[in-house]
Amino acid sequence: MGIPGYRDEPAPAWDSQALVDPSEAEEFLCLLHDEHPELGPVRHRLTQVRQEIAESGTYVHTPDELTYGARIAWRNASRCIGRLYWRSLLVRDLRAVRTPEGVFAELVRHLEVAGGNRGDAPGSRRIRPVISVFAPAHPGKMPAVRLWNEQLIRYAGYRNTDGSVVGDPRYAEFTEAVTALGWRGKGERFDVLPLVLESPLGGPRLFDLPEHAIVEVPLAHPEYPWFAELGLRWHAVPAISNMRLSIGGVSYPLAPFNGWYMGTEIGARNLADPDRYDQLPVVAARLGLDTSSETTLWRDRALVELNRAVLWSFERAGLRISDHHTESRRFLDHLAKEERAGRKTPADWTWIVPPLSGAATPVFHRYYHEADQRPNFYLDQETAELGRRGRRDTTAASPPAWPFRQRPPASDQPESAGSPHSRL
């Protein structure tokens, strides 16, 4: 029997209009006060929260509750191998920000803070874990602003007439959706997609990220000079932006968060998967490998060199990244710490084991506690579809906003453009 919210058993569909469950609020507050006895007895706070829920259907977290809840959600995220660092998560309380322009400005700031910009010299950046928590859902009310994007930084995919794709095939449909709203990309392999922010009255609007907020790494190899000629690169901050943060029964639909990359996420998935950038045949050809048979293990050999290039390039750029062997050992350290604290650690084996040399890592040879523990992050079906494909049924699309740059040439502007473009 599956566990709701875990692996192949989906969590119950989220009802954005439902009242907050007082029992879930009580469970969260008791956990907080149990782990932080300096806050005093929980009884008085429980009385306040019960009254708020009775009057409005929900309640407002204190800043301390929000910070604790977001960190525990990371601690409970069963698919994340990097949870050893959950206490270091920087929580940005942005619940008062409710306009598309304000949200976009804070998303840019999120990338600036997460990117750790301390100057242009190598090693001057240090990627740090950050979460930006915007307004919570409120029973009976529409969300002030909704973000379509799956991640804050992702690359466009341009579909050719023959069915091939320039860029990332995963986002070909999303690229078509934002193009229909008026976006014009360069048509290159690593064009950063715009953010789409939608409000009940203004409809969806496009916002291009400023260049300084997008930290990218050109990929090269420590031994093969030709690798740089492949023109590959990747962004340094993996900011997930379409998962709902649930804390004590209160849902935060917009709460983008990031850690830092494990190299295999880029080198063994994003750049290697056949339905993504599919670079293994390219690398194998440049290495001169025999690809006539699977028994030559040409895929494995190309995969190792592609991952070496990712790790070496990030380290040379002074940007934080982990290899899968080190991060696996650190995850076992996390399990041991949690056990000493008297807590079980939920983990999904299918996600914890790295996609490269899994059996050579210590996380492979064991079982894990399978549970859906809250607070946590949840991916709702409608949001998942929106992040992959966008929507074509909107008729209230506003003219695209082009912050931090010149307005596009007249030939690139959508026909409906008539109002002033946003300037932040």
Provide the annotated active-site residues. 80, 83, 260, 265
**Looking at the chain, how many residues does it have?**
424
The beta-carbon contacts of 353-358 under 8 Å, at least 24 apart in sequence, are 354/81, 354/262, 354/264, 354/268, 354/324, 354/327, 354/328, 355/264, 355/268, 355/269, 356/264, 356/267, 356/268, 356/303, 356/304, 356/307, 356/324, 357/324, 357/325
Residue type (1 letter), 158: Y
CB count, 10 Å around CB of 121?
8
CA distances (Å), origin 1, targets 6, 151, 345, 366, 376: 11, 32, 20, 20, 21
Q: What angle do helix axes 298-316 and 280-287 make, rounded to 10 degrees?
A: 100
- Which sign, positive or negative, has the C-alpha torsion 323, 294, 280, 387? negative
93 and 64 Cβ atoms separated by less than 8 Å: no
Whole-number Å distance between alpha carbons of 140 and 381: 20
Strand spans (E) along 68-215: 90-93, 130-133, 146-147, 157-159, 165-167, 195-199, 203-207
Burial grade of 203 (CB within 10 A; 0-12, 13-18, 19 or more)? middle
Whole-number Å distance between alpha carbons of 233 and 210: 18
Tokens of 401: 């906003």
